[in-house]
């Protein structure tokens, strides 16, 4: 895949017994991890929009409003904190819930991510794929409930 390609896989990244029609944007440059998530979740009916850097992420956001964004911190070009700050500063994207999923687990990084507007900060090394998906779905469900009230 070239740097400018946008990888779109359907039927991925939702946990649970019932298929859904949710759109998830996954900003992660680790293609192996992205592939594992896609395979793990392929039985559910979600759309995964995968970006490997800020340029791809913002290209997706120009045409699509995902239901949730899962964001790594260590990325080529702009880091995840910079991407998060930009997402939260724009009227069109500021209400999209963002979950940070990173190997950086120091208290300072976690506090920074949450203070910039992330709903949750997850440390990759401390969670299984199932646990990650459960936590992402918790954020998504909370966001859906809040938008309906």
Give the chain's mean pLDDT: 83
Q: CATH homologous superfamily for 7-148?
A: Response regulator (3.40.50.2300)
pLDDT in tens, 43-65: 566 778 889 999 999 999 999 99
> Residue ranges per domain, the chain?
7-148
pLDDT over threshold 80, residue 71: yes
Cα 86 to Cα 32, 123, 138, 144, distances in angstroms: 27, 22, 24, 22
Q: Band of the pLDDT at 41, cuts 50, 70, 90?
A: low
Name which of 96, 42, 94 is nearest 69 in CA terms: 96
Tell me the per-residue pLDDT of 76-109, one tens digit each, with 9 for 90 and over: 999 999 999 999 999 999 999 999 999 999 999 9
pTM of the model: 0.84
């Amino acid at each position: 895949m070239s740097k400018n390609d946008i990888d779109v896989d359907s039927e991925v990244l939702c946990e649970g017994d019932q298929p859904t029609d949710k759109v998830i944007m996954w900003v992660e440059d680790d293609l192996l991890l992205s592939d594992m998530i896609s395979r793990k979740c392929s039985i559910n009916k979600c759309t995964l929009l995968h970006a490997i850097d800020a340029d791809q992420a913002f290209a997706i956001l120009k045409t699509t409003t995902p239901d949730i964004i899962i964001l790594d911190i260590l990325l080529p070009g702009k880091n995840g904190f910079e991407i998060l700050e930009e997402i939260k500063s724009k009227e069109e994207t500021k209400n999209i819930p963002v979950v940070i999923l990173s190997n950086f687990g120091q208290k300072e990084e976690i506090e920074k991510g949450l203070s910039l507007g992330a709903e949750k900060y997850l440390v990759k090394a401390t969670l299984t794929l199932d646990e990650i998906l459960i936590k992402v779905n918790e954020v998504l469900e909370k966001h859906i409930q809040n938008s309906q009230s």
